[in-house]
Amino acid sequence: MRKLMSVLIVVLILGCSAAPVLAKDLSIIEEVLKKVDEQSYFPDTDVTALMSMIIEDPEEGLEKIVVRYFRRDDGERFLLLIEEPQTQKGQGYLLEGDNLWFYDPSSRKFMHTSLKESFQGTDARNADFSQLTYSSSYKVVDYDEGKLGNFPVYIVDLEAVDDRVPYPYAKLWITKEGNLVLRTQEFSLNKRLMRSGLFPSYARVGNGVLPTQMIFIDELVEGKKTQITLTEISTAKLPDNVFTRAFLERASR
């Protein structure tokens, strides 16, 4: 009898351990990412805004940068023109499809740069000012459900599938209602946390949405962060020549 019971226990244990675990349906989150990207894409309108950046650095102290922001998603273009401080006034960035140029009026030269690079040494990356590409640049590895403050969210783990994005791994907190990214964490190749992002406010722009406040936190340097606020948002049509190197040169004088 004891031998029979022992056999039954072993069978039950093996049976339990072999029970199939239901896989999560990652296609749900893939659709969410598509919606996130779609509502941050403005194919039928231009976007203009004034960006104010407050940089907090434990060594350098406080710094403010004011940037005029021009964006046209049809053709993947944006232009960033620095207005303050005086020492950087006239410097600018121009994205033309796959090419991102930095212009320095003191040398009157254009230099090729990358969307991955830091914007003017801040915690923002040049990629933060272009349209989102989560659904095409990343694959969903896993997800969970939870709350961020009072908002029910999907907590999504991503792995990059192309080299355009600044970080190979990311974690997103996306609202279930509205598909808004409220928080991000970005990781290096060895999965070390490099940067966190907070997006506490959005504005409706045409049929999409645009974050009007972004806070990027350097996770490697304690106390270092960059806060970006967008004001004076407009969807007025811009002349085609705005998104040219000639315009950037003229505007920098």
pLDDT per residue as tens digits for the range 239-250: 999 999 999 999
pLDDT computed for residue 21 by the predictor: 42
pLDDT computed for residue 2 by the predictor: 41
Average pLDDT over residues 47-57: 97
pLDDT computed for residue 163 by the predictor: 86
pLDDT tens-digit map of 210-231: 999 999 999 999 999 999 999 9
- List of domains in the chain: 27-251 (2.50.20.10)
pLDDT tens-digit map of 6-20: 433 333 333 433 334
**d(C-alpha 77, C-alpha 130), whole Å:** 8
Look up residue 88 and give its DSSP letter. G
pLDDT tens-digit map of 114-124: 999 999 999 99
Residue 207 has pLDDT above 90, yes or no: no
pLDDT computed for residue 98 by the predictor: 83
Whole-Å CA distances, 226 to 55, 61, 93, 123, 130: 4, 12, 19, 6, 17
| 23 vs 130 pLDDT, higher one | 130
pLDDT computed for residue 182 by the predictor: 98
Residue 164 binned pLDDT confidence (cut-offs 50, 70, 90): confident
Average pLDDT over residues 75-80: 94
What type of residue is 115?
A: L
The pLDDT mean for the chain works out to 90
pLDDT computed for residue 16 by the predictor: 36
| Listed residue (246, 243, 249) closest to 100, CA to CA | 243
Whole-Å CA distances, 120 to 41, 82, 230: 25, 10, 17
**Over pLDDT 90: what percentage of the chain?**
84
Residues 6+ apart with CB under 8 A from 17: none
Residues 6+ apart with CB under 8 A from 139: 158, 159, 161
Record the pTM. Answer: 0.88
